[in-house]
């Protein structure tokens, strides 16, 4: 089967050719039997890529057909299917996810997926931690919890829960009836470190099947490369069309977003606490839709505006973004799911930054060292530093900027040279920043939000800032950002206070 899989992978670089042979190949692969988990993973990932970046409508339809019964292929593997449940490839239909989720995420997932989720007792790191949680919702449990060396929480739950309820459903329902503030429930649940086991089966939550709409754009020419994307050109192009989602559509969208993240062992603050009254859809073209929203008013950060989003390529979830903004500066966390790393990454990233400029008024973009490779081997292997560098970002650290310039000169000599991993790790010690043409270079280089938050502000500065806070606490936080951006004096004062 390896030759057929090699042929399928090759079609990711054959855009512009007649796709009829690809449709035939997908039909053959749909009927083929695979017994090697590694081969099934390859088949799944390449079919999912071609569904997100289809050569034609027939290719998109053939990919959906191949992926439709994937759970049966996984079931045929027996115990060998555990190889498909590792975090690197998790979320395939027919597999399971075993992970630690916060109270807010667990509550939303359990409400949506019912008995498919339960407590994974054998993986809970410290079962004794269940004592305070169970004692809070079941006072009788105090008979044993304070005095027994190994509190039998599972036995208590199994004896008391109805047969039609899982242990997870039982404890969450008891917890939700508990008096007191919601934060107390979250504290009790999170302290117990409850590991969950989620049987995906053929659920729409499996990334094999998750779609938001149908394929609408077909790639009849080679995919855009990094050198085809220039941020300044994208920023000066017409604004992206925006549509505010109705309440019902926003609820459906956030459920899909939470599922998409959870099956990949991810959880975002904004996905747990979204502002569903103000969720927007941006159509960027080429089949790219970006869902973008802020945090609910009651959980907003004290200083920075918070926004998050997920983007879809031809209806297939392709990645997510998290944006923390202050004045014209935005810290952007961007993640394109590994399956789609060969698919127009720079152009997609440019559309997200463009949307941030359009909606939030920000113009200076900041990238955390983790995104570049600090404590992130995946970013080192992919050469993430050069991805940002070639889009116009620079290291904030002057010594590392000089190192980057030396490395650029070295790479420009003989073709085919690569930057060693040790050099990439040095370059990843510093954040990177993009400043638009004409911006004052270096204004934000030494700024730290932590330093500003912990600093005692002069009363006049505090009063000036508090005049903007009403906009932060209600409505869309973009109004708060626009108010900050219009106050040059406040900007200068807070930059000084927050710069080391």
Does position 147 have pLDDT exceeding 90, yes or no?
no
Kindly give the interhelix angle for 20-31 and 57-68, rounded to the nearest 10 degrees. 10
Instruction: List the 195-199 sheet strands across, edge first.
Output: 96-100, 195-199, 117-119
Q: Which CATH number is associated with domain 226-438?
A: 3.40.630.30
pLDDT for residue 260 is more than 80: yes
The mean predicted confidence, pLDDT, of the chain is 94
Long-range contacts formed by 63-72: CB under 8 A, 24+ apart: 63/26, 65/26, 65/30, 66/26, 66/29, 66/30, 67/93, 67/208, 67/209, 68/209, 70/44, 70/94, 70/208, 71/200, 71/201, 71/202, 71/206, 71/208
Q: Please give the average per-residue pLDDT across 168-183, as a whole number.
A: 93
**Strand 364-367 with 329-336, pairing:** parallel
Q: What is the pLDDT of residue 439?
A: 85
pLDDT for residue 105? 97
Decide if pLDDT at 143 tops 90. no
pLDDT for the residue numbered 127: 77
pLDDT value, residue 86: 86
* pLDDT bucket at 288, cuts 50 / 70 / 90: very high
Is 292 in contact with 309 (CB distance < 8 Å)? yes
206, pLDDT greater than 80: yes
412 pLDDT band (50/70/90 cuts)? confident
Q: Where are the domains of the chain?
A: 2-85, 96-199, 226-438, 451-498
CB 387 within 8 A of CB 379: no
Residue 448's pLDDT is what?
96
Q: Residue 392: pLDDT above 80?
A: yes
Per-residue pLDDT band at 69 (split at 50, 70, 90): confident
Q: What is the pTM of this model?
A: 0.94
371 in Cβ contact with 428 (< 8 Å): no
Query: pLDDT-based confidence at 360, cuts 50/70/90?
Result: very high
The whole-number pLDDT of residue 246 equals: 97
pLDDT the model gives residue 426 = 97
To which residue do tokens 């199994």 refer?
Answer: 158
* Cβ-based burial of 41 (10 A; exposed 0-12, middle 13-18, buried ≥19): middle
224-249 average pLDDT score: 96
């Amino acid at each position: 089967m390896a030759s057929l899989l090699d042929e399928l992978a090759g079609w990711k670089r054959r855009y512009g050719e007649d796709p009829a042979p690809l449709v035939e190949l997908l039909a053959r692969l749909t009927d083929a039997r695979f017994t090697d988990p590694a081969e099934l993973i390859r088949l799944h990932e390449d079919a999912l890529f071609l569904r997100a970046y289809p050569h034609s409508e027939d290719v998109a339809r053939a990919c959906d057909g191949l992926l439709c019964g994937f759970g049966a292929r996984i079931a045929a593997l027996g115990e060998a299917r555990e190889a498909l449940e590792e975090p690197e490839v998790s979320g395939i239909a027919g597999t399971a996810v075993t992970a630690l989720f916060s109270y807010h995420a667990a509550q939303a997932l359990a409400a949506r997926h019912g008995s498919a989720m339960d407590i994974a007792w054998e993986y809970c790191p410290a079962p004794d931690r269940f004592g305070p949680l169970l004692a809070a919702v079941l006072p009788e449990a105090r008979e044993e919890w304070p005095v027994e060396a190994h509190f039998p929480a599972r036995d208590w739950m199994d004896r008391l829960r109805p047969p039609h309820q899982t242990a997870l459903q039982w404890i969450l329902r008891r917890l939700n009836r508990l008096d007191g503030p919601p934060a107390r429930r979250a504290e009790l649940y999170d302290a117990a470190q409850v590991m969950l086991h989620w049987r995906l089966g053929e659920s729409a939550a499996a990334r094999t099947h998750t779609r938001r709409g149908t394929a609408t754009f077909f790639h009849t020419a080679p995919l855009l490369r990094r050198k085809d994307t220039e941020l300044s050109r994208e920023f000066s192009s017409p604004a992206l069309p925006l549509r505010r989602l109705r309440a019902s559509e926003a609820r459906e969208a956030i459920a899909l977003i939470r599922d998409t993240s959870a099956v990949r062992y991810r959880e975002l603050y904004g996905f747990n606490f979204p502002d569903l009254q103000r969720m927007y859809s941006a159509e960027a073209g080429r089949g790219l839709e970006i869902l973008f929203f802020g945090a609910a008013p009651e959980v907003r950060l004290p200083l920075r505006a918070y926004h998050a989003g997920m983007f879809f390529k031809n209806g297939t979830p392709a990645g997510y973004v998290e944006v923390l903004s202050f004045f014209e500066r935005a810290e952007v966390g961007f993640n394109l799911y590994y399956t789609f790393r060969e698919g127009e990454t720079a152009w997609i990233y440019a559309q997200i930054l463009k949307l941030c400029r359009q909606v939030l008024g920000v113009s200076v973009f900041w990238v955390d060292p983790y995104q570049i490779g600090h404590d992130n081997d995946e970013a080192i292997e992919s050469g993430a530093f050069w991805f940002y560098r070639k889009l116009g970002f620079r290291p904030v650290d002057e010594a590392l900027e000089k190192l980057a310039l030396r490395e650029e000169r070295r790479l420009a000599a003989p073709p085919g040279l690569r930057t060693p991993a040790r050099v990439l790790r040095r370059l990843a010690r510093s954040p990177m920043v993009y400043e638009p043409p004409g911006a004052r270079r270096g204004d934000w280089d030494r700024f730290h939000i932590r330093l500003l938050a912990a600093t005692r502000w002069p009363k006049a500065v505090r009063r000036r800032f508090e005049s903007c806070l009403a906009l932060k606490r209600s409505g869309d936080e973009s109004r708060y950002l626009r108010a900050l951006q219009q106050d040059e004096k406040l900007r200068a004062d807070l930059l000084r206070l927050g710069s080391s």
